[in-house]
């Protein structure tokens, strides 16, 4: 090929790709719902909110008792703002009514149960009617499409299948979208890689920490994922930083897209990142989103950071009124470049439950991650160890060096990391740089914190 031809070819190729990207931008799984805004959306929300409150009031004794105590009946809610006068629902309410006490439908009419493994006490159990499952699949299809998946794609689903909502949630969403789903679940990473390459997956779904594990095993096995058909990573179910996004995009050769959900609300499919990568669209035709001050319970104005509170609008079997998620975020309103109007949740990088308090400083594991990932010589594998020294809590950060780094340099790298953790997060921590492979790898949800403090008796 002559140089002229080559340059022409490159231009054409570039244009074709550009046109493809523009066309891809305009794809919505449910255009009408996803681009709904203003009065039309508010009207739909109010109508659905009233119906949902009526469902909860008539069929769930706990919600009825709390509404009666507040002297509010469902028909008294005439504006969306009235939501603020309703009670909160907390995670322990699910535990206190274990297993079926908050269901608004008889158990024998449900098609599925999921449960989250609580670290303490009983799991939280959630149930789905036929209509709930239909909605969930459609919301998941929307979520996948919002992140860049398309009908006809091969979607490699490495979220765990089972009681955890991630695996089956993604699975039925992918089918609903019209994609070919490969139901891998987690683990057996070498085998995953063979099928990922052979089946030509364009989309990978898993936790970000497991995606990193996949990238590492691929590099070890001499498989170049950047030469695979993989283009999109739909990563969620654990908080992750922008630094981790860059790392995953670089190593997997994908656009790494976040999504958000929790089993108490529906599972994944509550909010999804679009190609703007500037917040996650919360699907407002099915859920109402508020941010509150976690101390006072008062609603905060848009743009202020606080605890995310979600009310379900269409859930039949397990309606949720003002569920306190313990996740920290802020809400951004207004039309997004992708054409959707649904409110954006700033990328959630912290959960109240994960927050460590080290000598009075609040620390989220993802803040430490943001400092470590991408630092010269450090690998993105880390764990935080919390210990009691005398009467003080102490934080030790264990992080691996990249392969090929001389161990004689570990100490200097650790010193540098201590300095950056102190100046960027504001906490004094010891940092131990460890040999490659020293820390456990994620098979699903990563264990970021080892708490060695004596348990309170």
Any contact of residue 338 with Zn ion (CB under 5 A)?
yes
We find the least distance from the C-beta atom of residue 12 to Zn ion, in angstroms, to be 29
We find the least distance from the C-beta atom of residue 208 to Zn ion, in angstroms, to be 20
What is the DSSP code (8-state) at residue 378?
Answer: E
Burial 5-21 (b: 16+ CB within 10 A, else e): eeeeeeeeeeeeeeeee
We find the least distance from the C-beta atom of residue 347 to Zn ion, in angstroms, to be 13
| Nearer of residues 276 and 424 to Zn ion, judged by Cβ | 276
Q: Where are the beta strands (DSSP E) in 44-169?
A: 112-116, 124-128, 154-157
Judged by CB under 5 A, the chain residues 265 through 304 that form the site for Zn ion are 274, 276
| Residues 77-116 as x/- pattern, contact with Zn ion by CB under 5 A | ----------------------------------------
Instruction: Tell me the sheet residues that pair with 357.
Output: 362
| Nearer of residues 147 and 160 to Zn ion, judged by Cβ | 147
- Answer yes or no: are the C-beta atoms of 446 and 209 closer than 8 Å: yes
- Answer yes or no: are the C-beta atoms of 313 and 45 closer than 8 Å: yes
- Answer yes or no: are the C-beta atoms of 118 and 83 closer than 8 Å: no
Burial of 101 (0-12, 13-18, 19+ CB in 10 A): middle
Token readout for 384 is: 């935080």
Beta strands at 306-312 and 287-292: parallel, antiparallel or unpaired: antiparallel
| Nearer of residues 186 and 236 to Zn ion, judged by Cβ | 236
Beta strands at 112-116 and 154-157: parallel, antiparallel or unpaired: unpaired
Q: Is 447 helix (H, G, I), strand (E, B) or coil?
A: coil
Choice from 271, 336, 378, 379 touching Zn ion (CB under 5 A): 336
We find the least distance from the C-beta atom of residue 341 to Zn ion, in angstroms, to be 9
Judged by CB under 5 A, the chain residues 340 through 379 that form the site for Zn ion are 340
| Nearer of residues 180 and 277 to Zn ion, judged by Cβ | 277
| Nearer of residues 34 and 247 to Zn ion, judged by Cβ | 34
Q: Total residues at the site for Zn ion (CB under 5 A)?
A: 5
We find the least distance from the C-beta atom of residue 260 to Zn ion, in angstroms, to be 14
We find the least distance from the C-beta atom of residue 32 to Zn ion, in angstroms, to be 16
For Zn ion, the binding residues (CB under 5 A) are 274, 276, 336, 338, 340
């Amino acid at each position: 090929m002559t140089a002229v031809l080559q340059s022409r070819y490159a231009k054409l190729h570039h244009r074709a790709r550009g046109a493809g990207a523009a066309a891809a931008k305009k794809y919505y799984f449910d255009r009408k719902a996803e681009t709904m805004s203003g009065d039309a959306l508010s009207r739909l929300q109010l109508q659905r909110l009233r119906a949902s409150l009526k469902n909860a009031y008539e069929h769930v004794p706990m919600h009825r008792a709390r509404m009666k105590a507040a002297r509010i009946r469902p028909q008294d809610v005439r504006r969306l703002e009235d939501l603020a006068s309703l009670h909160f629902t907390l995670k322990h309410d699910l535990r206190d009514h274990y297993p079926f006490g908050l269901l608004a439908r008889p158990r024998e009419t449900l098609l599925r149960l999921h449960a989250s493994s609580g670290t303490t006490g009983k799991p939280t159990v959630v149930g789905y009617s036929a209509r709930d499952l239909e909605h969930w699949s459609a919301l998941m299809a929307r979520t996948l499409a919002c992140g860049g998946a398309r009908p006809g794609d091969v979607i490699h689903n490495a979220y765990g299948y089972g009681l955890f909502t991630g695996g089956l949630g993604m699975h039925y969403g992918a089918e609903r979208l019209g994609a070919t789903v490969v139901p891998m679940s987690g683990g057996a990473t070498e085998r995953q890689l063979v099928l990922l390459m052979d089946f030509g997956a364009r989309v990978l779904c898993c936790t970000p920490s497991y995606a990193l594990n996949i990238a590492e095993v691929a590099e070890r096995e001499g498989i170049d994922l950047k030469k695979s058909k993989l283009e999109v990573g739909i990563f969620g179910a654990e908080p992750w930083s922008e630094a981790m996004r860059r790392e995953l995009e670089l190593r997997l050769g994908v656009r790494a897209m976040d999504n958000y959900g929790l089993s108490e609300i529906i599972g994944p499919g509550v909010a999804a990142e679009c190609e703007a990568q500037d917040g996650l669209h919360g699907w407002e035709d099915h859920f109402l989103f508020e941010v509150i001050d976690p101390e006072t319970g008062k609603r905060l104005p848009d743009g202020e950071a606080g605890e995310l509170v979600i009310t379900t609008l269409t859930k039949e079997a397990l309606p949720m009124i003002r569920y306190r998620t313990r996740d920290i975020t802020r809400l951004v309103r207004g039309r997004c470049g992708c054409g959707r109007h649904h409110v954006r949740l700033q990328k959630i990088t912290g959960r109240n439950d994960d927050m460590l308090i080290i000598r009075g400083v609040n620390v989220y594991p993802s803040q430490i991650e943001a400092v470590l990932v991408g630092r010269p010589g450090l690998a993105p594998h880390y764990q935080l160890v919390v210990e009691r020294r005398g009467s003080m809590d102490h934080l030790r950060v264990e992080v691996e060096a990249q392969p090929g780094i001389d161990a004689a340099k570990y100490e200097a790298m650790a010193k540098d990391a201590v300095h950056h953790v102190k100046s960027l997060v504001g906490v004094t921590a010891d940092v131990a740089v460890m040999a490659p492979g020293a820390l456990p790898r994620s098979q699903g949800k990563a264990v970021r914190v080892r708490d060695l403090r004596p348990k309170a008796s």
